[in-house]
Amino acid sequence: MKTIRLGSSALQVPVVAVGCMRINSLGQAAAERFVQACLEEGANFFDHADVYGGGQCEAIFAEALHMTARVREKVILQSKCGIRQGQYDFSKEHILEAVDGSLRRLKTDYLDVLLLHRPDALMEPEEVAEAFSILEAAGKVRHFGVSNQKPMQIELLRKFVRQPLVANQLQLSITNATMISNGINVNMENEAAVDRDGSVLDYCRLHEITVQPWSPFQYGFFQGVFLGHDRFPALNQKIDEIAARHGVTNTTIAIAWIVRHPARMQPIIGTMNIDRMRDSCRASEITLSRQEWYEIYRAAGNVLP
Protein backbone atom coordinates (compact mmCIF):
# COMPACT_ATOMS: atom_id res chain seq x y z
CA MET A 1 0.00 0.00 0.00
CA LYS A 2 1.37 3.40 -0.95
CA THR A 3 1.29 6.16 1.65
CA ILE A 4 0.67 9.89 1.70
CA ARG A 5 1.39 12.59 4.25
CA LEU A 6 -1.63 13.48 6.37
CA GLY A 7 -2.14 17.20 5.96
CA SER A 8 0.79 19.29 7.15
CA SER A 9 1.84 16.67 9.71
CA ALA A 10 4.75 14.26 9.48
CA LEU A 11 2.38 11.31 9.76
CA GLN A 12 2.54 8.95 6.79
CA VAL A 13 -0.76 7.16 6.24
CA PRO A 14 -2.02 4.56 3.75
CA VAL A 15 -3.72 5.92 0.65
CA VAL A 16 -6.87 3.99 1.60
CA ALA A 17 -8.30 4.14 5.14
CA VAL A 18 -10.64 1.57 6.67
CA GLY A 19 -13.90 2.88 8.10
CA CYS A 20 -15.24 0.86 11.03
CA MET A 21 -18.84 2.11 11.18
CA ARG A 22 -20.21 -1.33 10.27
CA ILE A 23 -17.79 -3.60 12.14
CA ASN A 24 -20.57 -4.38 14.62
CA SER A 25 -22.29 -6.28 11.80
CA LEU A 26 -19.57 -8.94 12.08
CA GLY A 27 -19.24 -11.67 14.65
CA GLN A 28 -16.07 -11.80 16.74
CA ALA A 29 -14.27 -14.32 14.53
CA ALA A 30 -15.23 -12.49 11.33
CA ALA A 31 -14.11 -9.16 12.80
CA GLU A 32 -10.73 -10.68 13.69
CA ARG A 33 -10.31 -12.05 10.16
CA PHE A 34 -11.26 -8.71 8.63
CA VAL A 35 -8.88 -6.63 10.75
CA GLN A 36 -6.03 -9.05 10.15
CA ALA A 37 -6.66 -8.98 6.39
CA CYS A 38 -6.51 -5.17 6.48
CA LEU A 39 -3.14 -5.26 8.22
CA GLU A 40 -1.83 -7.76 5.67
CA GLU A 41 -2.77 -5.28 2.92
CA GLY A 42 -0.99 -2.42 4.67
CA ALA A 43 -4.37 -0.82 5.43
CA ASN A 44 -3.48 0.03 9.02
CA PHE A 45 -5.38 3.34 9.25
CA PHE A 46 -8.73 2.75 10.98
CA ASP A 47 -11.42 5.42 11.16
CA HIS A 48 -13.88 5.39 14.06
CA ALA A 49 -16.46 7.64 15.74
CA ASP A 50 -17.84 7.51 19.24
CA VAL A 51 -21.39 7.25 17.83
CA TYR A 52 -20.76 4.23 15.60
CA GLY A 53 -22.85 1.49 17.11
CA GLY A 54 -23.26 3.64 20.19
CA GLY A 55 -19.57 3.08 20.93
CA GLN A 56 -19.83 -0.64 20.29
CA CYS A 57 -17.79 -0.47 17.08
CA GLU A 58 -14.71 0.87 18.85
CA ALA A 59 -14.94 -1.87 21.48
CA ILE A 60 -15.43 -4.63 18.91
CA PHE A 61 -12.44 -3.35 16.92
CA ALA A 62 -10.17 -3.39 19.97
CA GLU A 63 -11.17 -6.95 20.75
CA ALA A 64 -10.71 -8.03 17.12
CA LEU A 65 -7.26 -6.43 17.03
CA HIS A 66 -6.27 -8.03 20.38
CA MET A 67 -5.01 -4.62 21.41
CA THR A 68 -1.70 -4.51 23.28
CA ALA A 69 1.06 -1.91 23.45
CA ARG A 70 3.00 -3.76 20.75
CA VAL A 71 -0.04 -4.06 18.48
CA ARG A 72 -0.89 -0.39 19.02
CA GLU A 73 2.41 0.64 17.41
CA LYS A 74 1.35 -1.05 14.17
CA VAL A 75 -1.92 0.83 13.64
CA ILE A 76 -3.08 4.40 13.14
CA LEU A 77 -6.32 5.20 14.94
CA GLN A 78 -8.63 8.06 14.10
CA SER A 79 -11.91 8.76 15.85
CA LYS A 80 -14.55 11.47 15.72
CA CYS A 81 -16.74 13.15 18.31
CA GLY A 82 -19.43 15.80 18.50
CA ILE A 83 -22.65 13.96 17.59
CA ARG A 84 -25.09 13.38 20.44
CA GLN A 85 -28.71 12.26 20.48
CA GLY A 86 -30.67 15.03 18.77
CA GLN A 87 -27.84 17.56 18.82
CA TYR A 88 -24.23 18.35 18.01
CA ASP A 89 -21.84 19.26 20.80
CA PHE A 90 -18.37 20.79 20.49
CA SER A 91 -18.27 21.95 24.11
CA LYS A 92 -15.01 21.49 25.96
CA GLU A 93 -16.60 19.11 28.44
CA HIS A 94 -18.10 16.87 25.78
CA ILE A 95 -14.95 16.69 23.65
CA LEU A 96 -12.85 15.67 26.66
CA GLU A 97 -15.43 13.15 27.84
CA ALA A 98 -15.88 11.71 24.35
CA VAL A 99 -12.15 11.19 23.84
CA ASP A 100 -11.81 9.45 27.19
CA GLY A 101 -14.66 7.15 26.17
CA SER A 102 -13.05 6.32 22.83
CA LEU A 103 -9.68 5.64 24.47
CA ARG A 104 -11.31 3.32 26.97
CA ARG A 105 -13.23 1.38 24.31
CA LEU A 106 -10.24 1.21 21.95
CA LYS A 107 -7.97 0.09 24.80
CA THR A 108 -5.32 2.68 24.00
CA ASP A 109 -3.70 5.68 25.65
CA TYR A 110 -3.91 7.95 22.62
CA LEU A 111 -5.59 8.66 19.29
CA ASP A 112 -3.40 9.46 16.33
CA VAL A 113 -6.13 11.74 14.96
CA LEU A 114 -9.29 13.27 16.42
CA LEU A 115 -11.89 14.84 14.12
CA LEU A 116 -14.84 17.02 15.07
CA HIS A 117 -17.75 15.20 13.44
CA ARG A 118 -20.66 17.36 12.21
CA PRO A 119 -20.56 21.17 12.57
CA ASP A 120 -22.05 22.41 15.84
CA ALA A 121 -24.04 25.64 15.31
CA LEU A 122 -23.42 26.53 18.96
CA MET A 123 -19.67 25.98 18.81
CA GLU A 124 -17.49 28.25 20.91
CA PRO A 125 -14.08 28.00 19.19
CA GLU A 126 -12.31 29.08 22.38
CA GLU A 127 -13.69 25.97 24.11
CA VAL A 128 -12.55 23.74 21.29
CA ALA A 129 -9.09 25.28 21.53
CA GLU A 130 -8.97 24.59 25.26
CA ALA A 131 -10.03 20.99 24.75
CA PHE A 132 -7.46 20.41 22.00
CA SER A 133 -4.66 21.85 24.13
CA ILE A 134 -5.63 19.71 27.13
CA LEU A 135 -5.77 16.56 25.00
CA GLU A 136 -2.46 17.29 23.30
CA ALA A 137 -0.68 18.13 26.57
CA ALA A 138 -1.98 14.93 28.14
CA GLY A 139 -0.74 12.90 25.18
CA LYS A 140 -4.25 11.67 24.45
CA VAL A 141 -4.46 13.06 20.88
CA ARG A 142 -1.57 13.68 18.51
CA HIS A 143 -3.30 15.31 15.52
CA PHE A 144 -6.58 17.13 15.00
CA GLY A 145 -9.01 17.75 12.18
CA VAL A 146 -12.64 18.19 11.22
CA SER A 147 -15.37 16.42 9.31
CA ASN A 148 -18.06 17.84 7.01
CA GLN A 149 -16.91 21.44 7.43
CA LYS A 150 -16.59 24.22 4.87
CA PRO A 151 -13.79 26.79 4.65
CA MET A 152 -15.18 29.56 6.85
CA GLN A 153 -16.03 27.11 9.62
CA ILE A 154 -12.47 25.84 9.49
CA GLU A 155 -11.12 29.40 9.42
CA LEU A 156 -13.07 30.20 12.57
CA LEU A 157 -11.49 27.24 14.32
CA ARG A 158 -8.01 28.04 13.01
CA LYS A 159 -8.23 31.51 14.54
CA PHE A 160 -8.28 29.94 18.01
CA VAL A 161 -6.72 26.48 17.93
CA ARG A 162 -2.93 26.36 17.80
CA GLN A 163 -2.71 22.82 16.39
CA PRO A 164 -2.80 22.35 12.61
CA LEU A 165 -6.04 20.87 11.28
CA VAL A 166 -4.74 17.99 9.18
CA ALA A 167 -7.90 16.40 7.76
CA ASN A 168 -11.44 17.15 6.64
CA GLN A 169 -13.71 14.18 6.09
CA LEU A 170 -16.24 14.93 3.32
CA GLN A 171 -18.69 12.96 1.24
CA LEU A 172 -17.31 12.28 -2.24
CA SER A 173 -17.79 9.62 -4.88
CA ILE A 174 -17.99 9.47 -8.65
CA THR A 175 -21.72 10.19 -8.41
CA ASN A 176 -21.44 12.69 -5.53
CA ALA A 177 -18.76 14.97 -6.90
CA THR A 178 -20.17 18.47 -6.50
CA MET A 179 -16.96 19.73 -4.87
CA ILE A 180 -15.22 18.87 -8.14
CA SER A 181 -17.94 19.79 -10.63
CA ASN A 182 -18.52 23.30 -9.28
CA GLY A 183 -14.87 24.03 -9.97
CA ILE A 184 -15.24 22.84 -13.56
CA ASN A 185 -18.40 24.87 -14.14
CA VAL A 186 -17.09 28.24 -12.99
CA ASN A 187 -19.14 31.20 -14.24
CA MET A 188 -21.84 28.96 -15.75
CA GLU A 189 -25.60 29.31 -15.27
CA ASN A 190 -26.26 25.65 -14.61
CA GLU A 191 -26.89 23.41 -11.60
CA ALA A 192 -23.34 22.07 -11.56
CA ALA A 193 -21.96 25.59 -11.07
CA VAL A 194 -23.62 26.01 -7.68
CA ASP A 195 -20.94 26.22 -5.00
CA ARG A 196 -22.45 24.40 -2.03
CA ASP A 197 -19.30 24.07 0.03
CA GLY A 198 -17.30 27.29 -0.36
CA SER A 199 -14.74 25.71 -2.70
CA VAL A 200 -13.72 23.39 0.10
CA LEU A 201 -11.56 21.19 -2.12
CA ASP A 202 -9.36 24.07 -3.25
CA TYR A 203 -9.31 25.46 0.28
CA CYS A 204 -8.05 22.18 1.73
CA ARG A 205 -5.34 21.96 -0.91
CA LEU A 206 -4.21 25.51 -0.20
CA HIS A 207 -4.01 24.85 3.56
CA GLU A 208 -2.51 21.34 3.44
CA ILE A 209 -5.61 19.65 4.83
CA THR A 210 -6.12 16.10 3.60
CA VAL A 211 -9.62 15.45 2.28
CA GLN A 212 -10.91 12.06 3.44
CA PRO A 213 -13.82 11.09 1.16
CA TRP A 214 -16.49 9.04 2.92
CA SER A 215 -19.05 6.81 1.18
CA PRO A 216 -16.88 6.54 -1.96
CA PHE A 217 -19.25 3.96 -3.50
CA GLN A 218 -22.54 5.63 -2.57
CA TYR A 219 -24.94 7.74 -4.61
CA GLY A 220 -27.13 10.24 -2.81
CA PHE A 221 -27.01 10.21 0.97
CA PHE A 222 -26.70 6.48 1.72
CA GLN A 223 -29.18 5.65 -1.05
CA GLY A 224 -27.11 2.75 -2.31
CA VAL A 225 -23.99 1.68 -4.15
CA PHE A 226 -23.69 2.87 -7.76
CA LEU A 227 -21.48 -0.05 -8.81
CA GLY A 228 -23.61 -2.57 -10.69
CA HIS A 229 -26.75 -0.49 -10.16
CA ASP A 230 -29.16 -0.33 -13.11
CA ARG A 231 -29.69 3.37 -12.41
CA PHE A 232 -26.18 4.05 -13.80
CA PRO A 233 -25.78 1.89 -16.94
CA ALA A 234 -23.39 4.21 -18.83
CA LEU A 235 -21.21 4.74 -15.77
CA ASN A 236 -20.96 1.04 -14.98
CA GLN A 237 -20.21 0.18 -18.60
CA LYS A 238 -17.36 2.68 -18.64
CA ILE A 239 -15.99 1.58 -15.25
CA ASP A 240 -16.11 -2.08 -16.32
CA GLU A 241 -14.35 -1.25 -19.59
CA ILE A 242 -11.52 0.56 -17.80
CA ALA A 243 -11.32 -2.11 -15.11
CA ALA A 244 -10.84 -4.79 -17.77
CA ARG A 245 -8.13 -2.70 -19.39
CA HIS A 246 -6.20 -2.51 -16.10
CA GLY A 247 -6.95 -6.08 -15.03
CA VAL A 248 -8.73 -5.02 -11.85
CA THR A 249 -12.30 -4.91 -10.51
CA ASN A 250 -14.83 -2.11 -10.73
CA THR A 251 -14.28 -1.50 -7.00
CA THR A 252 -10.61 -0.73 -7.64
CA ILE A 253 -11.46 1.74 -10.41
CA ALA A 254 -14.05 3.57 -8.28
CA ILE A 255 -11.38 4.25 -5.65
CA ALA A 256 -8.65 4.89 -8.24
CA TRP A 257 -10.82 7.66 -9.70
CA ILE A 258 -10.72 9.49 -6.35
CA VAL A 259 -7.03 8.79 -5.74
CA ARG A 260 -6.14 10.10 -9.22
CA HIS A 261 -7.16 13.62 -8.21
CA PRO A 262 -4.05 15.74 -7.45
CA ALA A 263 -5.46 16.75 -4.04
CA ARG A 264 -3.97 13.47 -2.75
CA MET A 265 -7.12 12.44 -0.94
CA GLN A 266 -7.45 9.49 1.43
CA PRO A 267 -10.76 7.69 0.80
CA ILE A 268 -12.45 6.01 3.76
CA ILE A 269 -13.88 2.66 2.68
CA GLY A 270 -16.72 1.25 4.79
CA THR A 271 -16.90 -2.29 3.45
CA MET A 272 -16.58 -5.23 5.81
CA ASN A 273 -16.05 -7.61 2.88
CA ILE A 274 -12.42 -8.73 2.73
CA ASP A 275 -12.34 -9.09 -1.06
CA ARG A 276 -13.77 -5.60 -1.61
CA MET A 277 -11.35 -4.20 0.94
CA ARG A 278 -8.47 -5.77 -0.95
CA ASP A 279 -9.80 -4.50 -4.27
CA SER A 280 -10.05 -1.01 -2.78
CA CYS A 281 -6.45 -1.16 -1.59
CA ARG A 282 -5.28 -2.06 -5.09
CA ALA A 283 -6.32 1.43 -6.17
CA SER A 284 -3.08 2.77 -4.73
CA GLU A 285 -1.26 0.84 -7.48
CA ILE A 286 -3.42 2.16 -10.34
CA THR A 287 -3.01 5.54 -12.02
CA LEU A 288 -5.86 6.41 -14.34
CA SER A 289 -4.98 8.46 -17.39
CA ARG A 290 -6.46 11.93 -17.73
CA GLN A 291 -8.69 10.59 -20.51
CA GLU A 292 -9.94 7.70 -18.37
CA TRP A 293 -10.67 10.02 -15.44
CA TYR A 294 -12.75 12.36 -17.58
CA GLU A 295 -14.51 9.48 -19.34
CA ILE A 296 -15.72 8.22 -15.97
CA TYR A 297 -16.66 11.74 -14.87
CA ARG A 298 -18.79 12.25 -17.99
CA ALA A 299 -20.29 8.74 -17.84
CA ALA A 300 -21.68 9.66 -14.41
CA GLY A 301 -23.83 12.29 -16.15
CA ASN A 302 -21.54 15.26 -15.76
CA VAL A 303 -21.36 17.58 -18.76
CA LEU A 304 -18.26 19.59 -19.54
CA PRO A 305 -19.12 23.25 -20.31
pLDDT of residue 269: 98
Give the Å distances, CA to CA, from 256 to 202, 281, 289. Answer: 20, 9, 10
> Within 13 Å, how many C-alpha atoms sit on residue 129's CB side?
12
CB 160 within 8 Å of CB 129: yes
The verdict on whether 294 is a catalytic residue reads: no
φ/ψ of 17, rounded to 5, equals -105, 155
For residue 25, what is the DSSP state?
Answer: G
Could you say which of 52, 203, 219, 297 is catalytic?
A: 52
Per domain, the residue ranges of the chain are 3-299
Does residue 14 sit in helix, strand or coil?
A: strand
pLDDT of residue 229: 96
The Cα–Cα gap between 117 and 136 comes to 18
- Taking the model in full, what pTM does it have? 0.97
**pLDDT mean by block of 10 residues, the chain; 305 residues:** 97 98 97 98 98 97 96 97 97 98 98 97 98 98 98 98 98 97 94 94 98 95 91 98 98 98 98 98 97 98 95
pLDDT of residue 223: 83
The Cα–Cα gap between 242 and 253 comes to 7
pLDDT of residue 41: 97
CATH T-level assignment (fold) for domain 3-299: TIM Barrel (3.20.20)
CB 105 within 8 Å of CB 73: no
CB 268 within 8 Å of CB 169: yes
CA 268 vs. chain centroid, Å, equals: 4
